Amino acid sequence: MISVLDQQPYLFDTTVSNNLKLGNLHATDAQLWQVLEQVNLKDLVEQLPEKLDTPMTEAGKRFSGGEKQRFALARILLQDTPIVILDEPTVGLDPITELAVLQTILRRCKIKH
């Protein structure tokens, strides 16, 4: 199986939890929180009115481009596929968040080897 993250990831008009679980239907809430922390979205989701159960709205319009990119990356990390294709995974991110996301990606790739 192959996972792909392109420059304009799509978020579905469902909850944060359901969007993430597209990567792994059996993921627990603990796993969702863990992957959100890995992509620096945990604090953001904790501030949402219904946290993991907050609707993302159509195409994730409530989130910035960088946030959408990180939600899509979280979904891919939950898939745990052997091959991941990333097309500019840090587009739209500030330098600090970019570094953290790249470290997460590299750490996950290292674990797979």
Asked whether residue 6 carries a pLDDT value surpassing 50, the answer given is yes
pLDDT tens, residue by residue, 22-32: 989 999 999 99
Q: What is the pLDDT of residue 50?
A: 96
- pLDDT value, residue 57: 81
Neighbours of 78 (CB within 10 A): 21
Q: In whole angstroms, give the CA distance from residue 98 to residue 70.
A: 10
Give the confidence band of 17 by pLDDT, cuts at 50, 70, 90: very high
In CATH, the architecture of 2-112 is: 3-Layer(aba) Sandwich (3.40)
Helix (H, G, I), strand (E, B) or coil at 80: coil
In angstroms, the CA 108 to CA 86 distance is 13
Helix (H) or strand (E) holding 69: helix 65-79
From CA 48, how far away is CA 44, in angstroms rounded?
Answer: 7
Position 78 scores a pLDDT of 92
Domain-wise residue ranges, the chain: 2-112
